[in-house]
């Protein structure tokens, strides 16, 4: 009850409300700008929090995180450019819905799913912080490796009918992930003497190249005109009815469950959660054949999951002072700036800040819904501008966003190179999502695989001795076996035909 009192006390002050509103608005804008990740959007605001009260500061930073994770879905649906990493899964069906003239519906599903997910995650954060934090403690290197393998197994279901091509694309992604400094020994790999490659290839560069630049190249190659998207369909935002939401309950439940389990795991984050929930939603769907062709479940499941993560990712940060992602690391910085040390003692020493944060994030989720409705109108209007102007703005946005990350011309060259690769993959009908999955998960898989073997002197049974790891590995094997069986059946059917 004390917690509730602190939360209500916090949100009844105009300063905290203003911080939540400003944070969400800034977050949506930042998330919608390709290249400005949630962590960058948060980092840009960090200096402004010095003079704020601790509650106001952490609420503002947390609200940016919430807004940014939602904002990333807007360009993902409208221009096939995920504004954030976690929005990459939304591209698959969101953009197809937009192409099919249902962009307004996709945006409505994303907004509603995101709000529901955010509120659900917040309830979990407020009520189950301690039990969930024990789950994070169970994640040893073998479990992280198994989690990465489970993530990779998704390749099987996003391979668009060609498992072989999907696996090749996944391996190309894993190969890209090996560029840079080796996580264990520190020796450099595949850097060709280029210092800008020492930290590896950042996946935002590859994602923007493969998605945004390749999309632009395809449009220009096909001389696509404004008829490419039916204008009448994207003229307004369409919020889903209660009946529609009820019919999508399974996908939302999966998004909530995956986000709840993934969020507290350091390093997993919204990207893995959104891809996993997409995959599970497809597996449990009554119409799995619709996935990839504009499925509503394919939009709402990942969007729900990545917004659940915005709350559940705070569990290890608040409970142990261990940030699991760049965004939560910046939130941790917000605490430290004000002399607060997140950890088990925080709940007893500064309950006003912790529960004030919970209250502020609750308000932020509601504001996200309101601002989402307001912002989507102009966003839809923007994408209805003449295609040549839109193409120009997209490329300028991508270049400006990428340059602003490291102020590096080399990064721009990488984006252009990734664009060529992405275009070639499209022409040859290679799925691009496995490439991204391999790149995102490569570091986690390799470093934890090698750490596990180092700890056990090369005993591979370690991956099946640990309970969490064994469960995840078995899940990954089942997913791969099922996919292989489906692929063989498909091949036989094709041969018979």
Partner 1 sequence: MRAMLVASGLLIVLAAAYWLGADAIPKSSLGGLVGADGLPKLLAVALGLLSAGLALQTLVEMRKRRRTGAASATGTAASSEVGDVAGHLRALGVIAIGVGFLVALPVLGYALSVALLLVAVATYSGKAFGLGTVVFGVAGAAFFYVLFVLGLDVPLPAGIWPSLLSGGSAPV
Q: Which CB, 216 or 353, lies closer to partner 1?
A: 216
**Cβ–Cβ < 8 Å for 273, 137:** no
3-state DSSP assignment of residue 181: strand
- DSSP-based three-state secondary structure for 437: helix
Nearer to partner 1, 278 or 399 (CB): 399
* Residue 309 bridge partners (DSSP): none
Q: What DSSP string describes 93-154?
A: HHHHHIIIIIHHHHHHHHHHHHHHHHHHHHHHHHHHHHHHHHHHHT--HHHHHHHHHHHHHG
Please, are residues 325 and 267 in contact by the beta-carbon 8 Å criterion?
Answer: yes
Of the two residues 47 and 243, which places its CB atom closer to partner 1 in the complex?
Answer: 47
For the chain, the farthest-separated pair of C-alpha atoms sits apart, in whole angstroms, at 72
Shortest distance, position 488 Cβ to partner 1, whole Å? 13
CB of 317 to partner 1, least distance (A): 25
Report the residue number, 278 or 423, with the smaller CB distance to partner 1: 423
Nearer to partner 1, 374 or 427 (CB): 427
> How far from the centroid of its chain's Cα atoms is residue 453's Cα?
30
> Which positions touch partner 1 (CB under 8 A)?
36, 44, 164-165, 167-168, 171-172, 174-175, 178, 182, 184-187, 189-190, 213, 216-223, 225, 386-389, 391-393, 395-397, 399-400, 403-404, 407, 409, 412-413, 415-416, 419-420, 423-424, 427-429, 446, 449-451, 453-454, 457-458, 495
Cβ closest to partner 1, residue 15 vs residue 181: 181
CB of 378 to partner 1, least distance (A): 13
Handedness of CA 438, 444, 449, 454 (dihedral sign): positive
Closest approach of Cβ 404 to partner 1, in Å? 4
Q: How far is the CB of 409 from partner 1 (least distance, A)?
A: 6
Smallest distance, Å, CB 187 to partner 1?
Answer: 5
Q: Where are the beta strands (DSSP E) in 300-437?
A: none
Q: How many Å apart are CA 76 and CA 80, to the nearest integer?
A: 5
Smallest distance from partner 1 to CB 165, Å? 7
How far is residue 148's CA from residue 472's CA, in Å, rounded to a whole number?
A: 9
Specify the residue, 242 or 495, whose C-beta has the smaller distance to partner 1: 495
């Amino acid at each position: 009850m004390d917690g509730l009192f602190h939360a209500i006390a916090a949100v009844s002050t105009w300063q905290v409300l203003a911080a939540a509103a400003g944070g969400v608005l800034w977050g949506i804008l930042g998330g919608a700008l390709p290249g400005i990740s949630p962590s960058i959007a948060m980092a840009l605001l960090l200096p402004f929090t010095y003079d704020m009260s601790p509650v106001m500061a952490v609420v503002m930073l947390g609200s940016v995180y919430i807004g940014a994770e939602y904002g990333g879905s807007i360009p993902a649906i409208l221009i096939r450019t995920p504004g954030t990493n976690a929005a990459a899964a939304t591209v698959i069906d969101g953009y197809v819905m937009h192409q099919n003239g249902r962009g307004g519906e996709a945006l409505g599903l994303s907004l509603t799913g995101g709000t529901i997910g955010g509120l659900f995650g917040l309830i979990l954060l407020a009520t189950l912080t301690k039990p969930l934090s024990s789950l994070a403690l169970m994640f040893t290197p073998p479990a992280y490796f198994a989690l990465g393998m489970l993530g990779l197994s998704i390749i099987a279901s996003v391979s668009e009918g060609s498992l072989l091509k999907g696996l090749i694309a996944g391996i190309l992604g894993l190969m890209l992930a090996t560029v840079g400094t080796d996580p264990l020994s520190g020796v450099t790999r595949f850097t060709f003497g280029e210092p800008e490659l020492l930290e590896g290839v950042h996946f935002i560069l590859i994602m923007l190249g493969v998605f945004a630049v390749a999309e632009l190249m395809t449009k220009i190659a096909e001389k696509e005109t404004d008829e490419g998207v039916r204008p009448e369909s994207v003229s307004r935002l369409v919020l889903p009815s209660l009946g529609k939401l009820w019919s999508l309950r399974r996908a939302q439940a999966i998004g909530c469950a995956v986000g709840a389990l993934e969020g507290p795991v350091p390093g997993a984050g919204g990207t893995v959660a959104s891809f996993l929930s997409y995959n599970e939603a497809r597996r449990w769907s009554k119409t799995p054949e619709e996935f990839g062709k504009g499925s509503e479940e394919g939009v709402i499941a990942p969007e729900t999951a990545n917004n659940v993560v915005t709350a559940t990712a705070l569990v290890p940060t608040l409970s142990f002072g261990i940030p699991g992602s760049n965004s939560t690391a910046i939130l941790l910085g917000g605490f430290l700036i004000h002399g607060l040390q997140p950890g088990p003692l925080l709940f007893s020493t500064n309950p006003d800040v912790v529960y004030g944060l919970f209250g502020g994030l609750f308000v932020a989720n509601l504001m996200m819904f309101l601002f989402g409705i307001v912002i989507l109108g102009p966003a839809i209007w923007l994408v209805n501008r003449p295609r040549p102007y839109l193409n120009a703005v997209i490329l300028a946005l991508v270049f400006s966003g990428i340059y602003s990350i490291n102020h590096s011309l080399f990064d721009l060259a990488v984006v252009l190179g990734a664009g060529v690769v992405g275009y070639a993959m499209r022409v040859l009908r290679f799925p691009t999502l496995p490439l991204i999955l391999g790149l995102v998960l490569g570091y986690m898989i390799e470093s934890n695989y090698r750490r596990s073997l180092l700890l056990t002197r090369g005993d591979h049974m370690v991956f099946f001795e640990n309970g969490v790891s064994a469960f995840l590995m078995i899940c990954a094997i089942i997913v791969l076996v099922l996919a292989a069986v489906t692929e063989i059946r498909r091949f036989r059917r094709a041969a018979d035909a």
